Structure 1
Amino acid sequence: MANKPKKVVRSWVKERVAFDRELKDDKFYNSWPWRKARKAFINKNPLCVHCEENGEVTAATVVDHKIPIKQGGEPLNESNFQSLCEKCHNKKSANESRGYGVKSR
């Protein structure tokens, strides 16, 4: 039985939690209305809109809220949806978590 390496704890470094999402968000994203809306939207819009803007053709795997629900975006309104590939969605989400890319009203 191999020993696991000891985890080094540095008090000045904030621990990163992968896929940190509030529990109330999980309830929504696992709901039947969201899964149904997501499936219908991605079937109608199968390509990543960000890649298309750059002249690339990439299959979308994520239905993203243009305006995040936390910031008042409508959760089930298709006008607030966009199809993105995983790479573009991760880039957009990272920018939003840093405070970039979100237009103030």
Structure 2
Amino acid sequence: MAPRLKCMTVGPPVFDTRIAHTAPKRADPFYLSREWRQLMRHLVEMRGSVCQACGRTNTRLFGDHIIELKDGGAKLDPANIQLLCGSCHTKKTARARAARMAVRHTR
């Protein structure tokens, strides 16, 4: 009688993803600079502590570049910066990133 062949496993090996950790997010040094912090304080004083997209108050505000730096926006121009709550900032950044990727894929 001929020896039987062992069955091979099908598919990629299974990895334990519970031990995988993403690298901690690091802020761009520009956003820790004295100039950026002074500008943010000035904008909050002038515009109030309110999200300029949804009107939410009593929340952390982010200085968001209307035209993102990656797209050629001015770093310290108050006309290019809006104050957004975390939700609005995340949505706006995701839309801008998706638009940037769409342009890359159409070339």
* TM norm structure 1: 0.64
Structure 2 vs 1, CA of residues 77 and 27 (structure 1 numbering), >3 Å: closer, same or farther? Answer: same
Instruction: Find the counterpart in structure 1 of residue 43 from structure 2.
Output: 41
* TM norm structure 2: 0.63
Structure 2 unaligned runs (5+)?
Answer: 1-14, 101-107
CA RMSD of the aligned region, Å? 2.6
SS at match of 1:99: helix
Map residues 1-105 of structure 1 onto 2, 5 A cutoff: 6-7=16-17, 19=25, 26-45=28-47, 46-51=49-54, 57-59=55-57, 61-99=61-99
**What is the identity percentage for the equivalent residue pairs of Structure 1 and Structure 2?**
31
- Deviation per CA, 1:22-55: give whole Å up to 9, x if none: xxx712111110111112112222211211xxxx
**Structure 1 runs of 4+ with >4 Å offset:** 16-19
Shift of 1:18: 7.0
Read off the aligned partner of 1:6 and give its amino acid letter. Answer: D
Read off the aligned partner of 1:77 and give its amino acid letter. Answer: D
